[in-house]
Amino acid sequence: MTPGSVFTIMQQALEVTVLLLAVLLLPALAVGLLVSIFQAATQINEMTLSFIPKLMITVAAMVIGGPWMLQLIMGYTQRLFEGIPGLIG
| Angstrom distances, CA of residue 75 to CA of 3, 33, 50 | 23, 33, 35
List Cβ neighbours of 20 (8 Å cut-off, separation of 6 or more): 69, 72, 73
| pLDDT tens column, 30-83 | 999 999 999 889 988 887 888 999 999 999 999 999 999 999 999 999 999 999
CA dist 56 and 85 (Å) reads 43
pLDDT at 70: 96
| pTM, to two decimals | 0.80
